[in-house]
Amino acid sequence: MFEEEKTKAMMLKTWILFALTSAAASCSSLEVSFLEIRNSKGEVIQLEPDFPYAHVVISLEGRVLHSHPRTGVVWTDLSDVNQFGTVKETMSVDSKEGMAQEIEQWIGRPYDSHFSWGNDAFYCSELVAKVLGIPPEPMHFDPDLWPPKFLELEGEPGISPGKIYRKISGQDFSF
């Protein structure tokens, strides 16, 4: 009887190890990085009150995904992204199996300088939010940080790098 119980316990341990290994294989980690951007005078460009980063990218499977006015939506490497700013913080997030293939539908799309959630172009945080499944929220454009033309977008659906940061880190967020 004792041998039968040992065999059952060993089979249960093997099954649990297999289940854990399978679960780990179906999810890999992706990195969400937040970049500090500076203007030609060397001053930090700040687009949100109390949030110092103006660009966000995703690293997955050794490549970096981002959308930028100069490139649109592209896979690139970190050295190319460093042309646009300096990575200051990175957070790991679980990714779904096949996420890189899902992202391919957006590669080559233009940058969205109108910050519209519902068109075929993407701004950086919109791209990251859609990859991660983070829904849009009413946008806020601080008049002290944004040109007047963006104030007409106040309350439209969208998302900022700061809101993504706070959602991933679990911090509450409001202006």
pLDDT at 99: 84
Lowest mean pLDDT among 4-13, 40-49, 164-173: 4-13
Ranges 20-34, 35-49, 161-175, most confident: 35-49
The burial class, CB within 10 Å (0-12 / 13-18 / 19+), for 6 is: exposed
pLDDT at 33: 95
125 against 26, higher pLDDT:
125
pLDDT tens digits for range 62-81: 899 999 999 999 999 988 88
| Domain spans, the chain | 28-169
User: E strands of 121-175, at which residues?
Assistant: 137-138, 157-158
pLDDT at 21: 33
Determine the straight-line distance between the first and last CA of the chain, rounded to whole angstroms.
66
- Residue 12 reports pLDDT greater than 70: no
How many angstroms separate the CA atoms of 112 and 125, rounded?
Answer: 11
pLDDT at 97: 84
Question: What confidence tier does 84 reach under pLDDT thresholds 50, 70, 90?
Answer: confident
How many angstroms separate the CA atoms of 39 and 57, rounded?
Answer: 19
Question: What confidence tier does 3 reach under pLDDT thresholds 50, 70, 90?
Answer: low
Q: What is the mean pLDDT of residues 22-31?
A: 56
- CATH for 28-169 is 3.90.1720.10
pLDDT tens digits for range 142-157: 999 999 999 999 999 9
